[in-house]
């Protein structure tokens, strides 16, 4: 039992420690969860969690070494990700300065598709995601020997637990966000997070 449960618990704790920090993914999932658009929260949560699962699995399979050996590709992803984060941050800042300027319109399914694509971009164009999952978590998992897949399964479970809790638990904050001013505070926080991350990527931090 210890040869399976303990590595899984260690993987769960390590994975959780990496993803709970405020970042682009978390800020976006939080906003989607607070908005509570029917049929949107679950797809966004699944996009983020399944992306982590794929990346962690690839890390255990040794793809992290390929990523480390392709600095030009990582550099290109970094610049693309930085551009997207800066644009998204500027849009959030615009909502702070001009509430209601960017109201989601059109059929709900369009909103869902847009939300899913945004979640995909925030995940796959963030080079830190590759470093955290492919390289860091992958290398830690492979240090577990025969128990590496149990360790990796714990890390994957942490990702699903966190994003599900964040996306669906955000509804508890809706009474607070019944006030329009609260949305401006949230958008100000999102703008700060996105712009900071974008500028740091441009600078190579």
Using alpha carbons, list the distances in angstroms from residue 60 to 78, 95, 141, 156.
23, 41, 6, 12
Q: What is the mean pLDDT of the chain?
A: 81
DSSP state at residue 20: S
Q: What is the DSSP string of 136-198?
A: IIHHHHHTTGGGHHHHHHHHHHHHHHHHHHHHHHGGGGTTGGGSHHHHHHHHHHHHHHHHHHH
Percentage of the chain exceeding pLDDT 70: 86
pLDDT the model gives residue 66 = 65
- This prediction has a pTM of 0.78
pLDDT band at 41 (very low <50, low <70, confident <90, very high): very high
Residue 116 vs residue 184, higher pLDDT: 116
Residue 18 vs residue 55, higher pLDDT: 55
Q: Is the pLDDT of residue 121 over 80?
A: yes
- Collect all residues with Cβ–Cβ distance below 8 Å to 109 and sequence separation of at least 6: 39
The 10s digit of each residue's pLDDT in 76-104 is: 777 887 888 888 889 888 888 876 544 44
Q: List the domain boundaries for the chain.
A: 21-202
Compute the CA torsion angle 24, 28, 33, 35 (nearest 10 deg): 150
pLDDT the model gives residue 205 = 54
């Amino acid at each position: 039992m210890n040869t399976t449960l303990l590595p899984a618990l260690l993987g769960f704790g390590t994975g959780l420690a990496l993803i709970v920090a405020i970042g682009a993914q978390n800020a976006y999932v939080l906003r989607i969860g607070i908005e509570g658009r029917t049929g949107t929260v679950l797809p966004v949560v699944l996009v983020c969690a399944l992306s982590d699962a794929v990346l962690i699995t690839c890390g255990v399979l040794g793809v992290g070494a390929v990523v480390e050996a392709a600095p030009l590709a990582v550099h290109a992803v970094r610049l693309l990700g930085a551009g997207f984060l800066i644009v998204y941050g500027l849009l959030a800042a615009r909502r702070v300065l001009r509430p209601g300027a960017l109201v989601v319109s059109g059929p709900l399914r369009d909103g869902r598709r847009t939300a899913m694509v945004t979640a995909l971009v925030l995940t796959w164009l963030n080079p830190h995601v590759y470093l955290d999952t492919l390289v860091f978590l992958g290398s830690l998992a492979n240090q577990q020997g025969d128990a590496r897949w149990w360790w990796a399964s714990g890390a994957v479970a942490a990702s699903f637990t966190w994003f599900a809790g964040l996306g669906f638990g955000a509804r508890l904050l809706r009474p607070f966000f019944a006030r329009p001013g609260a949305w401006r505070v949230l958008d100000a926080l999102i703008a700060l997070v996105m712009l900071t991350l974008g500028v740091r990527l441009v600078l190579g931090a």
